[in-house]
Structure 1
C-alpha cells in the first residue's frame, strides 16, 4: 500500500518577476542589514547560487554553498541526521531545514570566530526523470534558517520536465528567502521603535 499523498503547499504569488529580480531583492536586503547567506542545494545543483551571484555586489553578502547531490554528502558536509534520512529519505521538510542550517555552518570561515553566516537556504526534491524515495517527480521542499530559527516549506509539486522543476525551485526558494528577510527587517525596525518609546 502506497503512503498517503501529502497536501501540496501553494507557491508564493508572483507576477512577471524573473529569477534575477528575486535575487537582486535578496542581495539588496542582505546588504542593507549587513547580513550573510550560505546555500545548500540538492536537486538545483548550484542554480540558486548561480542566480544569486549573477547580481552585482553579491560577494558582499553571499558566503558560498554546498551542492550535496549525493545523500552521504548531506550527512557529512551539512550534518543532516542519518536517522532522519533512514526513516524519511532525503525528500522531506526536515531534511531541507537541516540542509539550510548546515549551509550556515559550512559557509562560516574558521577565522570568523562567533560570526556565523546569518542565513541558510536548503533545497531538496525530485527533478526527474524517475521518482525517488517514493516521491513523484516535481516534489520539492525548501528550508530557510536564520538568526532567529528556521522553517521548511513543502511539499511543492512543480510540473514539467527536469529543468522546469529546477527553475521553479529556484524561484520559490528566492521568494521565500525574500519574505523571511523582509519579515526579519520589519521585526528589527519594530524593536528599535519600541526601544525609542521607553
Structure 2
C-alpha cells in the first residue's frame, strides 16, 4: 500500500481574492501593519482586481520605534517582551485599523498585523521562523501563533503572508 501526502494547491492569489471578495460582499475594509512581511500582505491584496473597494492601505513598521509611534504598540510591552510577541501582533492589527481610518464615520473594519523573525539571526531571544499574526475587528482583536515556519528568509516571509491572509479569510467567514 502506498502513502502520499495531500497537498494544498491553493495559491496566495486565490486566498487574497477570497479575502477581497468577502470584504466587498460584507461592505467592509481592511488595513495592514507589517513588520516581518515588509509589504507582502499589502502587495498580495492589491494584486486582486477591484481591491481598492476594500483595501485601505497600511504601514510597514520595520523599525521598532515606528510600531510605537505610528501604531501605538505599548512601549512597556516591547521593553518587557520584545517585538516578537502575540500582544504586539494584536496591537499592530489594532493600529492598522486606526492608522488607515481617514473618516471617523467610516472606520477601517479589519486590521492585520505581522511580526516575527526571518533571520539571519535570532531576535529578542526568539528563533528564526517564529511568527505572530494579529487580526483586529471592531469587536475584538486576537493573535495567532507562535508559528514556526521553516526554511529560508524568503520562505518564512512568504509563509507568513499566506497564513495572515488565510487567518483573515477564516475570521471573515465567521463574521459573515
Which TM-score band (shorter chain)? over 0.9
1:135 aligns with 2:126: yes
Question: What residue number does 1:37 align with?
Answer: 30
Question: What residue number does 2:156 align with?
Answer: 165
Map 1:90-109 to 2 at 5 A.
90-109=83-102
Map 1:62-77 to 2 at 5 A.
62-77=55-70
Larger radius of gyration: 1
Question: What residue number does 1:80 align with?
Answer: 73
CA distance in 1, matches of 2:11, 2:113: 20
Question: What residue number does 2:3 align with?
Answer: none
The TM-score with structure 2 as length reference comes to: 0.95
- Structure 2 gaps of 5+ residues are 1-5
1:115 deviation in Å? 1.7
1:148 deviation in Å? 1.6
Deviations for 1:118-145, whole angstroms, at most 9, x for unmatched residues? 0000000001110100000000000000
Question: What residue number does 2:169 align with?
Answer: 178
1:116 deviation in Å? 1.2
User: Aligned pair count?
Assistant: 171
1:120 aligns with 2:111: yes
- In 2 relative to 1, CA 14–23 (structure 1 residues): closer, same or farther, beyond 3 Å? farther
Match of 2:14 among 21, 30, 52: 21
Deviations for 1:105-125, whole angstroms, at most 9, x for unmatched residues? 00011xx13321000000000
Question: What residue number does 1:156 align with?
Answer: 147
1:16 deviation in Å? 1.0
Q: Secondary structure at the match of 2:113?
A: strand
Point out 4+ residue stretches in structure 1 off by more than 6 angstroms. none
CA-based RMSD of the aligned residues comes to 1.1
Map 1:50-65 to 2 at 5 A.
50-65=43-58
CA distance in 2, matches of 1:154, 1:116: 27
1:65 deviation in Å? 0.4
